[in-house]
Copies of this chain bind each other. A is one copy, B any other.
Amino acid sequence: MQTLRVELGERAYPIHIGEHLLSDAGLVTPHLDLPKIAIVTNTTVGPLYLERLSQALLAQGVEVISIVLDDGERYKDWATLNRIYDALLESRCERKTTIIALGGGVIGDLAGFAAATYMRGIPFIQVPTTLLAQVDSSIGGKTGINHPQGKNMIGAFYQPRLVLADTAVLATLPPRELSAGLAEVIKHGLVRDEGFVAWLERNVEQLLACDPQALAHAVRCCCEIKAAVVAEDERETGVRALLNFGHTFGHAIESGLGYGNWLHGEAVAAGMVMAADLSRRMGYIEQADVDRILVLLKRAGLPVAQPGLTPERLLELMALDKKTEGGQLRFVLLDRIGSASVRGKVPAALLQETMAVHAVD
- What residues make up the interface of A, taking CB atoms closer than 8 Å to B? 34, 78, 82, 85-86, 89, 92, 94-96, 116-121, 142-144, 147, 149-150, 152-157, 235, 319-320, 322-327
A323 to B149 alpha-carbon distance, docked (Å): 37
A327 touches B92 (CB 8 A): yes
Residues of chain B within 8 A (CB-CB) of A320 are 89, 92
**Nearest CB on B from A169, distance (A):** 28
Residues of chain B within 8 A (CB-CB) of A34 are 325-326
A235 to B119 alpha-carbon distance, docked (Å): 11
A343 to B89 alpha-carbon distance, docked (Å): 23
The prevalent SS among residues of A at the interface is mixed
A320 to B94 alpha-carbon distance, docked (Å): 8
Residues of chain B within 8 A (CB-CB) of A157 are 120-121
A78 to B92 alpha-carbon distance, docked (Å): 21
Q: Closest residue to A320 on the B side, CB-wise? A: B89
B120 touches A85 (CB 8 A): no
A95 touches B322 (CB 8 A): yes
Given the interface pairs A322-B95, A325-B94, the reply to whether A142 lies near B120 with Cβ below 8 Å is: yes
If A89-B149, A92-B327 are given as contacts, then 16 extra A-B residue pairs at C-beta distance below 8 Å, sorted by A number, are A34-B325, A34-B326, A78-B78, A85-B153, A85-B154, A89-B147, A89-B153, A89-B320, A117-B117, A117-B154, A117-B156, A119-B155, A120-B142, A120-B143, A120-B235, A121-B157
Residues of chain B within 8 A (CB-CB) of A94 are 322, 324-327
A325 to B96 alpha-carbon distance, docked (Å): 7
**Nearest CB on B from A276, distance (A):** 25
A304 to B92 alpha-carbon distance, docked (Å): 30
Residues of chain B within 8 A (CB-CB) of A154 are 85, 117-118
A153 touches B119 (CB 8 A): yes
Given the interface pairs A118-B153, A157-B121, the reply to whether A85 lies near B322 with Cβ below 8 Å is: no
Residues of chain B within 8 A (CB-CB) of A142 are 120
A150 touches B89 (CB 8 A): yes
A34 to B325 alpha-carbon distance, docked (Å): 9
The contact sample of 9 A-B pairs, CB cut-off 8 A, is A34-B325, A89-B147, A89-B149, A89-B320, A95-B322, A95-B323, A117-B155, A119-B153, A121-B235
**Nearest CB on B from A184, distance (A):** 19
